[in-house]
Amino acid sequence: QVQLVESGGGLVQPGGSLRLSCAASGSSFSRYAMGWYRQAPGKQRELVATISSGGTSNYADSVRGRFTISRDNAKNTVALQMNSLKPEDTAVYYCNAGWVYGTYWGQGTQVTVSS
């Protein structure tokens, strides 16, 4: 089984930056497709960004150009660099790992963008 732990959330002013990190357990990290999702109160969970096992990234239109997803297979981590943050980015951000054997979720980390 895969365990995922997110970190790096917090309070930031509009226009500021945060870097989220997700640490995965196990020895099969390089085989997982990884993603970041977010959920704001009263809204459905939505995809923010994904990165395939081969390193191909994909972004939601709302964050493209502002956020960057990356992975470090040697450290079993995936990161989300968030720049030019907006109040609309406020949500709980969840790390996701997917492969042929299943899909796994972290507990989430809160990101609040407010002045």
Q: What is the tens place of the pLDDT at every residue in 90-102?
A: 999 999 999 988 9
**Calpha distance 41→90 (Å, rounded):** 9
Q: Specify the pLDDT at position 1.
A: 74
Nearest to 82 by CA among 38, 24, 16: 16
- Amino acid at site 62: S
Q: In the structure encoding, which two tokens stand for residue 20, read together? A: 């989220």
- The stretches in the chain having pLDDT less than 50 are none
Q: How many CB atoms lie within 10 A of CB 109?
A: 21
* Amino acid at residue number 30: S
pLDDT at 20: 98
DSSP 87: G
